[in-house]
Amino acid sequence: MKRSVLFYLLCLLSWAAIAQNSVQDTSWVKANYTKTEHYISMRDGVKLFTAIYTPKDDSQAYPIIMQRTPYSVRPYGENSYRRTLGPNGYLMREKYIFVYQDARGRYKSEGNFREMTPAIENKKSNKDVDESSDTYDTIEWLLKNTKNNGKVGQWGISFPGYYSSAGLPNAHPAMAAVSPQAPMSDEFIGDDCYHNGAFFLMDNFGFYSGFDGPKSNDGTNYKSHFNAEYNDAYKYFLDFGPLKKSNAAPYFADPNCIWRQTTAHPVYDEFWQSRNIKNHLKNIKPAVLVVGGWFDAEDLYGALKTYAAIEKQSPGNNNRLVMGPWTHGGWAARAWKRFAQYQFGTDVNRYYQEEIETRFFNFYLKGKGAFDQPEVTVFETGSNQWRHYEVWPPKNSAPVSYYFGEKGSLSSQKQGNASGSTTYESDPAKPVPYTNVISGHRNNEYMAEDQRFASRRPDVVSFQTDTLMEDLTLTGEIVANLMVSMTGSDADFIVKVIDVWPAGSTVPAPNEGDKPIVMDGYQQMVRAEVLRGKFRNSFSKPEPFVKDKIEKVTMKLNEVAHTFKKGHRVMVQIQSSWFPLVDRNPQKFVNIFEASESDFQKSRITIHHDAKNPSSITLPVMR
């Protein structure tokens, strides 16, 4: 399987949302819409390729819904039509002017592409351009050159979600409704490239191998930098060895490619800080609907933090958050009734597409119907039901610390023992796999996978509560506070929060008539995150650990909305590798992208949990 498959899967989500009531070919779109193609000039003279689908019924003026994308607006040619238009099939039939634009420097658009273009708050001339100005200039042209009602909306998933966010600062007055969906927001702290300074190896390697290779002369395709074929990602990347060889032929030999840019900045420097769009989400005027998925392996962070940034920096905003039981872009699928071992009992996508997304755009762009959706709508896993709140996290969510103890105990009562610790040996030559599945691509279900394969390893330590006597619902952010020491000078810390199912548990089979699925002892991952230890005090100024010195490591995990049912247990697992999802840490304080094989070393890592040095995890418990 070629590694560029991840790239193309992501593109498919952006090219055509296969939503409710969608058609299987282009006939319906062609019968109801007229397609035109244009090069729209930006203020600096660069022209962006844009495809416009206008309803053939010209009896009225229509609002505009646009998507800006680096993944191509294909198919190209005015006689070649998309199978679907807009965010979902309901909106396609509502009749809008649907606009798709190749972002600056991508595919048929002119100019130079920049990964998450740095925003320019104070533009001094027409040469100062960013995604906000490109969005503004595009809208200005559309208002003058289409039969519209003067209102514009924007949406997108993943990278197009970022473009939706980036169009919000200093938005055009006609921009009335924007939906950033799984938007990239900060690629060093929590989206895509790095998580808390730890490099997401497998995804980056596969994505960038096909994303920005040489462009064809007609601008319709890109040639991959290379094609790596493997069926066992764990073995492939372990055999690959130190990553410094990736920056040469036959891999990422082009010094200007994005992989090289990404690996050239292994700390949170100006390169990453300037691309953090969250800092620019101030005084936002359009109505905003931020959408994300609890099982989104790419941009869970981006959805949650984009919403939070608007809330914090834009007083009086009209901002809403929807979080469902979805993977990356799963809300655009035809239906969504189950994921991994979760059975939702209903099609959550129909509810979202029909009752939330369609009503949002119809109300703000057409003035049709009402949109009285609560501020926050989240799907609570475990109990498998939608919850509605006026703030996020909800007011009745309170932080409760659970302390690690002897014999793997986890309790809300602070440990009284004078001594106590748990030690494991982390070996970069034998990293802990992120999944129990042997595959050439990322296991998309790893975020809900059974963790028994990991808990059996000596380099993974576990702490768990007693059997719960009543339901325990967590809603909000999780924070781990670890007191650690080690024999090396650096280490990764992966913290996992797990729902342990009791003996005899089953869940209904997805197909009627099949036997129930046995969940006896299942260790269902609820949330997990990684922190590269050298960034424990600063993402910009990494620091080595001192051998055997006890230090505090605090890390935030993304929010959750999950109910641990009566009879279950809460488990916390800690480990120092998560491979090949995350690259191997040599456990030596070095630039990992310049490390040699000799730099990789074993390390004995100790989690302290005594009265003087308590380790704990703070859970957001609903009262």
Q: What pLDDT is attached to residue 414?
A: 86
Give me the residue label for tokens 């469902």. 324
Judged against a pLDDT cut of 60, whether residue 8 lies above it is answered with no
Give me the residue label for tokens 């702290």. 189
* Cα–Cα distance for residue pair 153/138, rounded to 1 Å: 12
Q: What pLDDT is attached to residue 24?
A: 60
Judged against a pLDDT cut of 80, whether residue 500 lies above it is answered with yes
* Cα–Cα distance for residue pair 272/114, rounded to 1 Å: 12
Any bridge partners for residue 583, and if so which? none
- Element housing 145 (H / E): helix 131-145
Map residue 360 onto helix, strand or coil.
Answer: helix
Amino acid (1-letter code) at residue 540: S
* Cα–Cα distance for residue pair 301/476, rounded to 1 Å: 13
Cis previous bond, 266, omega within 30: no
Distances (CA, A) of 107 to 10, 156, 160: 16, 17, 14
CB-side neighbour CA atoms (13 Å) of 469: 0
Q: What pLDDT is attached to residue 570?
A: 98
Amino acid (1-letter code) at residue 380: E
Q: What pLDDT is attached to residue 25?
A: 78
Q: What pLDDT is attached to residue 16?
A: 42
Distances (CA, A) of 110 to 50, 101, 129, 295, 299: 11, 12, 13, 36, 28
Total number of residues shown for the chain: 623
* Cα–Cα distance for residue pair 243/217, rounded to 1 Å: 32
Judged against a pLDDT cut of 90, whether residue 52 lies above it is answered with yes
Q: Contact, 400 vs 406, CB < 8 A?
A: no
Closest C-alpha to 70, from 114, 39, 40: 114
Q: Assign 216 a pLDDT band (cuts: 50, 70, 90).
A: very high
Cα three-residue angle 617-619-623, rounded to 5 degrees: 150
Amino acid (1-letter code) at residue 111: G
- The pair of three-digit structure tokens given for residue 124, joined into one six-digit string: 């001094």
Closest C-alpha to 287, from 179, 172, 132, 163: 179
Pairing between β-strand 460-464 and β-strand 194-195 as defined by DSSP bridges:
unpaired
Q: What pLDDT is attached to residue 417?
A: 67
* Cα–Cα distance for residue pair 112/106, rounded to 1 Å: 8
Q: What pLDDT is attached to residue 3?
A: 40
pTM for this one? 0.95
* Cα–Cα distance for residue pair 442/456, rounded to 1 Å: 22
Q: What is the CA radius of gyration of the chain?
A: 25
Map residue 475 onto helix, strand or coil.
Answer: strand
* Cα–Cα distance for residue pair 100/78, rounded to 1 Å: 13
Judged against a pLDDT cut of 50, whether residue 22 lies above it is answered with no
Closest C-alpha to 299, from 1, 13, 592: 13
Question: In the 8-state DSSP scheme, what is residue 582?
Answer: S
- The pair of three-digit structure tokens given for residue 359, joined into one six-digit string: 């009503």
Cα three-residue angle 135-136-140, rounded to 5 degrees: 115
* Cα–Cα distance for residue pair 618/623, rounded to 1 Å: 15
Give me the residue label for tokens 């480990």. 575
Closest C-alpha to 353, from 403, 300, 289: 289
Judged against a pLDDT cut of 70, whether residue 165 lies above it is answered with yes
Pairing between β-strand 62-69 and β-strand 148-157 as defined by DSSP bridges:
parallel
The residue ranges of DSSP E strands in 445-583, in sequence order, are 460-464, 472-486, 492-500, 506-507, 517-518, 523-532, 551-564, 569-575
- pLDDT tens digits, one per residue of 97-115: 999 999 999 999 999 999 9
Map residue 486 onto helix, strand or coil.
Answer: strand
Any bridge partners for residue 39, and if so which? 49
Q: What pLDDT is attached to residue 213?
A: 92
Least confident range of 1-5, 85-89, 316-320, 526-530: 1-5
Cβ count near 381 (within 10 Å): 22
The dihedral sign for the CA sequence 248, 249, 254, 260: negative
Q: Contact, 154 vs 179, CB < 8 A?
A: yes
> What is the pLDDT averaged over residues 129-145?
98
- pLDDT tens digits, one per residue of 257-305: 999 999 999 999 999 999 999 999 999 999 999 999 999 999 999 999 9
Q: What pLDDT is attached to residue 378?
A: 98
> What is the pLDDT averaged over residues 550-557?
98
* Cα–Cα distance for residue pair 416/398, rounded to 1 Å: 24
Closest C-alpha to 131, from 14, 16, 8, 46: 46
Judged against a pLDDT cut of 80, whether residue 358 lies above it is answered with yes
* Cα–Cα distance for residue pair 225/266, rounded to 1 Å: 22
| Burial state string for 313-325 with b = 16 or more CB within 10 A and e = fewer than 16 | ebeebbbbbbbbb
